[in-house]
Structure 1
Amino acid sequence: MSPGCFPAFPEDRRRSMSRQPSFTYSEWSDAREEDLFELEAVPETPVFDCFADTKAETDPVTLTVKQVGLQERRGSNVSLTLDMCTPGCTEPYGALLSPGEQSARDHLLKASNVLSAEQLRTRALDDAALQAEFFETPMNFADPKEYDYPGVVRKNRYKTLVPNPRSRVCLKATDRDDFLSTYINANYMRGYGGEEKVYIATQGPTVNTVSDFWRMVWQECSPVIVMLTNVEEKNEKCTEYWPEDGVTYDGIEISVTRLIRADDYRLRIFALKVGTFLDTYILRLYWYTSWPDQKTPDKAPPLLELVLEVEEVRLRAPPKSGPVIVHCSAGIGRTGCFIATTILCKQLKNEGVVDILKTMCQLRLDRGGMIQTPEQYQFVHHVLSLYEKKLSCSVEE
């Protein structure tokens, strides 16, 4: 029995500093240093996580948002909402959108900047242009008041960050009237060419949501989890939700079959099983450990290698496998960079051009705040430049 045949689970910113990024190009193992773009070394630049120090105990209904700067005025807080609809609905109530919200939605639907290989190289080095483009793009965060249900606040790692309603993942439950049992802070994300439900972007699980996370993994039959945060980065960013040997969550038996340690990530392979079903469902967890807290990675090649490996595993997965689950802590910054890079590598390989702006907008339509800072936005451009160089070298050979 293939994994896709398994039944559903039975209970069924603050403003960023305007400085150059902290990363530099590094050579691939088979490339000469002079073949790659060179950047002068610069001091490490902090990338602020606007949710990093936010406590989750406060009821979101009582929240107030203060005006703090350009990014917020551009829609980086809860003021820009794509779908003002009941959580779980699949169609937006367009009539309820305010003029500002409608304007933000229109911007995200129409914004585009197609770059050829040569234009990509130039654009990646234009810090001012990229920052201007980033701040012109609405964040499209959902309003926490959309989720005015008892107990929901305890399931959000950060009190102001909730899933955009139209694309949120709904957990299956025996009692559909029990909203809390269906809720998880996660969104389905479209992939290359607008393909539906290729990824799930979610927050790092908390102690309160570990069981919900594994219910989602089983329900969606996800072949891969990509974790882009450490457990502790000054404070807790993600609880250690995986077992060292084996564990059972809500009837889902999870056992570790293999652990592989690479230079920049750890790969755990799990076997999942529910009840008396004889077949097991194989899951891979890539834990990328080389993305420093409050920075962009110092090197682009390791992240690019992971992006390409995960995509290859996804393509080899059984036909009925579900979305790849990607998370950091809040599930928007590093998560957004990873998903965007995966989509854009495919576009560059297939079309010879990339539209990084349009891809970021597509991601933010599905989950607010994806690609959280201008430094991360510039880093995505650099990773794509590196991949374009890699493709060019392959063609020449």
Structure 2
Amino acid sequence: MVQPDQAPKVLNVVVDPQGQCTPEIRNTASTSVCPSPFRMKPIGLQERRGSNVSLTLDMSSLGNVEPFVAVSTPREKVAMEYLQSASRVLTRPQLRDVVASSHLLQSEFMEIPMNFVDPKEIDIPRHGTKNRYKTILPNPLSRVCLRPKNITDPLSTYINANYIRGYSGKEKAFIATQGPMINTVNDFWQMVWQEDSPVIVMITKLKEKNEKCVLYWPEKRGIYGKVEVLVIGVNECDNYTIRNLVLKRGSHTQHVKHYWYTSWPDHKTPDSAQPLLQLMLDVEEDRLASEGRGPVVVHCSAGIGRTGCFIATSIGCQQLKEEGVVDALSIVCQLRVDRGGMVQTSEQYEFVHHALCLFESRLSPETVQ
């Protein structure tokens, strides 16, 4: 049973010859105490997400930005070491116990560095015009780069999206991105086409007090830049709508499934994890049927909160199924290395554990560790 006073286990960080830090992954159910190297003060939701106020740019200052050379501070290095090594492997009985320990999960969540990106790290003039929230930016190391429409215009390569590793560190299992804006819809479809993504998961309404996402798909047929999108079927489910799409570019076509989950309530987590879990299972079935194709694209509004919950739950369920244990702490840390702020609040962190616990209850008892 997991004890409330236990801290996450921090494993060794291995540095390869190129200077890249990678965590030493150890499959163990041990929950021994290890002091945390990093403590954060609680951050408010608006600080995590960024203001909803529209971004205003001083156009006269653009083009006068001096080159920026990123230098890691000692605090940033400690934070990255934590993200790459923190771990608390839970057996199935321990998972059931920890779900009942709300204070433990909240405390554990507050230890995880957010890893937000400094705008100066993105050396692309005017990239702010393509960001829905001014403080939610893509990690430069895992950023999705669009093939340039114009080689002299670096902005044409920019989209606020990151490749996200999946279960067992699988590269480019997902793409986490913001909800498309009126001026980024074409970029979004270019990305879906470029990456050969078989599934799009949308976890937001178009408007929740303020605009969260624009309507970026057509009723029947639409052309977005060089990509034509056709809706060939719509299936209304209890908590989400599935659209079957055909994308065309020249003589080539791609089939894409679009899931629009609309049951997530404003400003809180759902009362039940069942609808999101069912969505995850349906998407996983489509992913397996599309072996060899590109990443699953997931977005909400900012592309970190609900998006992080969905991806963390998906990875955790795969780990439970394959190993009979789950390490949600390590999963969320891995997500934040790839995209800062993933799983935005302690309530969302608890919700992920509830979803994993619900999935665990459906597994065969023979696999209990």
TM-score range, shorter chain: 0.7 to 0.9
Contact persistence 1:16–1:374 (CA under 8 A): no
Partner of 1:343: 315
Q: Does 1:151 align with 2:126?
A: yes
Please point out which of 286, 294, 300 is paired with 1:322: 294
Question: Deviation at 1:14?
Answer: 8.1
Which residues of structure 2 form unaligned runs of 5+?
A: 1-40, 62-66
CA distance in 1, matches of 2:99, 2:57: 40
Please point out which of 299, 308, 312 is paired with 2:285: 312
CA change 1:172–1:122 in 2 (3 A) is same
Question: Deviation at 1:253?
Answer: 1.1
Please point out which of 110, 113, 116 is paired with 2:91: 116
Q: Does 1:15 align with 2:43?
A: yes
Higher strand share: 2
**Percent of residue pairs bearing the same amino acid type:** 55
| Structure 1 letter corresponding to 2:54 | K
Q: Does 1:228 align with 2:203?
A: yes
Question: Deviation at 1:152?
Answer: 1.2
Contact persistence 2:162–2:339 (CA under 8 A): yes
Deviations 1:86-140 (A, max 9, x none): 8xxxxxx7xx211011010000011000000011011111111111111111000
Contact persistence 1:267–1:284 (CA under 8 A): yes
Partner of 2:22: none
Which residues of structure 1 form unaligned runs of 5+?
A: 1-12, 18-46, 63-83, 87-92
Question: Deviation at 1:153?
Answer: 1.0
Contact persistence 2:189–2:224 (CA under 8 A): yes
CA distance in 1, matches of 2:112, 2:236: 38
* RMSD across aligned positions (CA): 2.4
Deviations 1:169-222 (A, max 9, x none): 000015334210000000000000000000000000000100000000000000
Question: Deviation at 1:312?
Answer: 0.9
Please point out which of 159, 179, 182 is paired with 2:154: 179
CA change 1:14–1:120 in 2 (3 A) is closer
CA distance in 1, matches of 2:268, 2:58: 30
CA distance in 1, matches of 2:49, 2:296: 25
Contact persistence 1:57–1:159 (CA under 8 A): no
CA change 1:358–1:85 in 2 (3 A) is farther
Contact persistence 2:68–2:123 (CA under 8 A): no
| Structure 1 letter corresponding to 2:43 | R
TM-score, normalisation: structure 1 = 0.77
> RCO greater where, 1 or 2, for CA within 8 Å and sep 6 or more?
1
3-state SS, counterpart of residue 165 of structure 1? coil
Please point out which of 264, 271, 282 is paired with 2:246: 271
Question: Deviation at 1:53?
Answer: 2.1
TM-score, normalisation: structure 2 = 0.83
| Structure 1 letter corresponding to 2:120 | K
Partner of 2:338: 366
How many positions carry a matched residue from both structures?
A: 323
Pairs within 5 Å for 1:239-254: 239-254=214-229
Please point out which of 69, 72, 78 is paired with 1:97: 72
Question: Deviation at 1:298?
Answer: 1.7
CA distance in 2, matches of 1:52, 1:264: 28
Partner of 1:194: 169
Pairs within 5 Å for 1:116-135: 116-135=91-110
Pairs within 5 Å for 1:33-72: 50-51=49-50, 53-58=52-57
